[in-house]
Amino acid sequence: MKKLEDIKSIIVKYKKGKKVEVAHNPTSYPLVGHGKQGAVFKISPEQCVKIYAKEGNTVKEGKVLKAAQGSPIVPRLYEIGENYIIMEYLEGPSLFDYLKEKRILTEEITNQILFILKEMKRLQFTRLDSRLNHIIVTRQGELKVIDLVSHFKKKVDHPEFLMQHLKRLGLLSAFLDQVKNIDPPSYQEWKSFN
């Protein structure tokens, strides 16, 4: 009960076109990330809470997380409140930071990226894309997608952001070469990104 009171005391404000601002946090919960829709605080070793600046985004992301529960590509969902969602805390770097540091794209990572994209399609996401910053590499080496607010809202048939980020890291050619061997139909669909 105390945890819920603490969560409700955190105030996050919307800033048009920018990351949200944490206007009030009287708790000891550390801020672990924030974006345009909300701010994420670690509330236990296993859980975090995302506080949204707009209630509509809580509903949108909650709907996606509910629909995807049971899938290995999303965090476990614990609770949806008026302007917050309590979910599994994923410890690890973003895939962007991971690849930036490693400077190499393994076939194992490529296979996991392909699995994520196919799983998004199976889950009937309308946005079949994700920024590498929104994919976490867990301590177990698994990839999990976060920040799913627009995955039932926007219509995106191709992984454009994913390809742009790989290109920025100088890894797009390596990715497409691996996709050519692993999944030739996807390669035919995406080869123009190179």
Q: Which of 99, 123, 116 is nearest to 186 (CA)?
A: 116
Residue 99's pLDDT band (cuts 50, 70, 90): very high
Q: Name the 3-class secondary structure at 23.
A: strand
Which of 7-11, 14-18, 125-129, 171-175 has the least mean pLDDT? 14-18
H, E, C per residue of 49-93: EEEECCHHHHHHHHHHHHHHCCCCCCCCEEEECCCEEEEECCCCC
Q: Which of 25, 60, 70, 80 is nearest to 147 (CA)?
A: 60
Residue 76: is its pLDDT beyond 90?
A: yes
Q: What's the CA gap between 34 and 32, in Å, rounded?
A: 7
Q: What's the CA gap between 158 and 126, in Å, rounded?
A: 10
First to last CA, the chain: 52
User: Is 128 within 8 Å of 148 (Cβ atoms)?
Assistant: no
Residue 16's pLDDT band (cuts 50, 70, 90): confident
The reported pTM is: 0.93
User: Do the strands 84-88 and 143-145 form a parallel or antiparallel pair, or are they unpaired?
Assistant: unpaired
